[in-house]
């Protein structure tokens, strides 16, 4: 038999993979040998496995995750897997460029603190757009006194848009609106405290009135023709929302918001210790139906495509912005759920899933 097979050393030399790497992929059930000598434990491979080993070496070279490598080698939608990974790499490169630009700006500020970037940034936005953005993210603002960096809304200028971000670690909400005066290069965002955010929302008219925003220098100021509000901002680092919102949706479902809300309010729930600090909370399990729809499941099976979520957080996300239609993106039971409004690309929320207990 051995004369018809490649030894692990031969396969390693022909594919460029190390012997230890081949052993690892055998243990991970990615590339298993055709025969293992029961006396010596030595691995032997079929001639046809050389092509798989060479493909595996290239997949490793581009950083494809183990699960995706397994999918490609098994022939399970390989082109879709590669397209998704390419988008992930492109997003990562864009993030790296943005971060390096910010790093360069910070280095210049350290080297020339009096002559480089101005202490504040002035933007102009429409009042109704800012109101809608605040309404879309306010529900996700953190309230844990042990996490003061999350007690507010991040205002982040990014080219022609102003992005608002809020999170309490269990959910995250983002909203974008057009802004005039934003620099082409990204600048560090400003976290506006919750009380100041709420006061700002109160004074905003729901019309096209222009609002002048001043960010930076430890202060935040908003001015309309009739009102002005300002306050101090904390010097705390906000989480990198790009990492948390780089999602890979396997299922997309569009449905009326009112239908989903009614299903959640009348559907089954589970009580689990999954709230803040381990407190009990009511959990709703969403599952895909055979016709591609969405339903609330009472007892999902492991084979169902489902996701378990904090019921109150889910209802809060549905209420944010009061959309008529929703686009839900599911990646699986342990992947975050994205809730989008069709036509508003940069405005969406993300809910962290809750792991259901194993069936007895």
Q: What is the reported pLDDT for 298?
A: 85
Q: Are residues 256 and 231 in the same domain?
A: no
- Asked if 254 and 148 sit in the same domain, the reply is no
Q: Alpha helix (H) ranges present in the chain?
A: 8-15, 19-27, 49-61, 66-74, 78-111, 127-137, 194-203, 241-244, 257-266, 311-319
Which residue in 92, 31, 136, 73 sits closest to 349, CA to CA?
136
Whether residue 2 is predicted with pLDDT greater than 60 in this model: the reply is no
Digit-coded pLDDT (tens) for 83-126: 888 887 877 776 677 667 667 666 765 666 544 344 578 899 99
Same domain for 197 and 227, yes or no, is yes
Is the pLDDT at 131 greater than 60, yes or no?
A: yes
**Residue pLDDT, tens place only, 250-277:** 788 899 999 999 999 999 998 888 666 6
Residue-level pLDDT at 118? 46
Q: What percent of the chain has pLDDT over 70?
A: 88
Q: Looking up tokens 């990615």, which residue turns up?
A: 30
155 lies in the same domain as 201: yes
CATH of residue 197: 3.10.150.10
| The last residue of a domain, from among 238, 268, 302 | 238
Of all residues in the chain, the percent with pLDDT exceeding 90 is 37
Condensed to tens digits (0 to 9), the pLDDT of residues 3-39 reads 588 889 999 999 888 888 899 888 888 899 989 888 8
Does residue 112 fall inside a structural domain?
no
* CB contact at 8 A, 188 and 129: no
Q: CA 331, 22, 37, 48 torsion: positive or negative?
A: positive
Mean pLDDT over 192-205 rounds to 94
DSSP string of 220-282, one letter each residue: EEEE-SS-EEEEE----PPP-HHHHT----SEEEEEEHHHHHHHHHHS--EEES-SGGG--EE
* 346 in the same domain as 260: yes
Write out the residue range of the structural domain in which residue 227 sits.
118-238
CB atoms within 10 A of CB 355: 10
Domain assignment present for 101: no
Number of domains in the chain: 3
> 199-246 pLDDT, tens per residue?
999 999 889 899 999 998 889 999 999 889 999 999 888 888 887 777
Pair 28, 140 in one domain = no
Q: What pLDDT does 116 receive?
A: 38
Specify the pLDDT at position 106: 61
Name the band, by pLDDT with cuts 50, 70 and 90, for residue 77. Answer: confident
Residue 197 scores a pLDDT above 90 = yes
Tell me which of 157-171, 271-285, 308-322 is least confident: 271-285
Given pLDDT bands bounded at 50, 70 and 90, which one contains residue 71? confident
The Cα–Cα gap between 134 and 26 comes to 51
Q: Of 186, 207, 238, which marks where a domain is finished?
A: 238
| Average pLDDT taken over every residue of the chain | 85
Q: Is residue 90 part of a domain?
A: no
- What would the mean pLDDT of 334-359 be, rounded to a whole number? 85
Instruction: Examine the fold and report which residue of 238, 268, 291 is the final residue of a domain before the chain moves on.
Output: 238
Looking at residue 149, its pLDDT comes to 92
DSSP string, 103-133: HHHHHHHHH-TTTSS-S-EEEEEEHHHHHHH
pLDDT, mean of residues 292-321:
86
**Left if phi > 0, otherwise alpha if psi is -120 to 50, otherwise beta: which for 292?**
left
Q: Within this chain, do residues 148 and 233 fall inside the same structural domain, yes or no? A: yes
Q: Is residue 7 part of a domain?
A: yes
| Domain identity same for 131 and 178 | yes
- Has residue 6 been placed in a domain? yes
The verdict on 296 and 338 lying in the same domain is yes
End-to-end CA distance of the chain: 46
Q: Are residues 261 and 326 in the same domain?
A: yes
Residue 317: inside a domain, yes or no? yes
Q: Note whether 194 and 125 are same-domain residues.
A: yes
17: domain CATH number is 1.10.1660.10
122 domain residue, yes or no: yes
Same structural domain for residues 126 and 231?
Answer: yes
Residue 106 lies in a domain: no
List, for residues 159-176, the tens digit of each pLDDT value.
789 999 999 999 999 999
């Amino acid at each position: 038999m051995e004369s018809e097979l490649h030894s692990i050393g031969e396969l390693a030399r022909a594919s460029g993979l190390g012997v230890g790497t081949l052993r690892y992929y055998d243990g991970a059930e990615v590339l298993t040998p055709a025969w293992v000598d029961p006396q010596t434990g030595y691995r032997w491979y079929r001639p046809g496995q050389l092509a798989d080993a060479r493909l595996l070496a290239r997949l490793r070279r581009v950083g494809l995750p183990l699960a995706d490598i397994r999918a490609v080698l098994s022939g399970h939608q390989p082109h879709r897997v590669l397209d998704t990974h390419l988008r992930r790499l492109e997003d990562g490169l864009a993030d790296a460029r943005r971060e390096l630009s910010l790093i360069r700006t910070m280095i210049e500020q350290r080297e020339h603190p009096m002559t480089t970037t101005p202490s504040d940034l002035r933007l102009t936005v429409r009042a109704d757009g800012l109101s809608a953005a605040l309404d879309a993210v306010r529900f996700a603002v953190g309230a844990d006194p042990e996490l003061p960096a999350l007690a507010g809304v991040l205002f982040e200028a990014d080219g022609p848009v102003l992005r608002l971000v809020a999170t309490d670690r269990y959910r995250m909400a983002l909203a974008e609106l057009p802004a005039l005066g934003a620099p082409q290069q990204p600048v560090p965002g400003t976290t506006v405290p919750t009380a100041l955010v709420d006061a700002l929302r109160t004074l905003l008219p729901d019309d096209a009135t222009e609002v002048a925003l001043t960010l930076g220098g430890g202060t935040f100021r908003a001015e309309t023709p009739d009102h002005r509000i300002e306050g101090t901002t904390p010097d705390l680092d906000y989480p990198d929302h790009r990492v948390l919102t780089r999602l890979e949706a396997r299922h997309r479902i569009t449905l009326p918001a009112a239908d989903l809300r009614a299903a959640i309010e009348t559907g089954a729930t589970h009580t689990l210790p999954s709230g803040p600090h381990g407190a009990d909370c009511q959990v709703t399990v969403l599952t895909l139906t055979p016709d591609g729809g969405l339903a609330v499941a009472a007892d999902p099976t492991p084979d169902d495509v489902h996701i378990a979520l904090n019921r109150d957080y889910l209802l809060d996300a549905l209420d944010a912005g009061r959309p008529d239609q929703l686009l839900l993106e599911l990646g699986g039971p342990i992947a975050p759920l994205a809730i989008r409004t069709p036509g508003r690309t940069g405005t969406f929320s993300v809910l962290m899933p809750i792991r259901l207990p194993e069936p007895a």
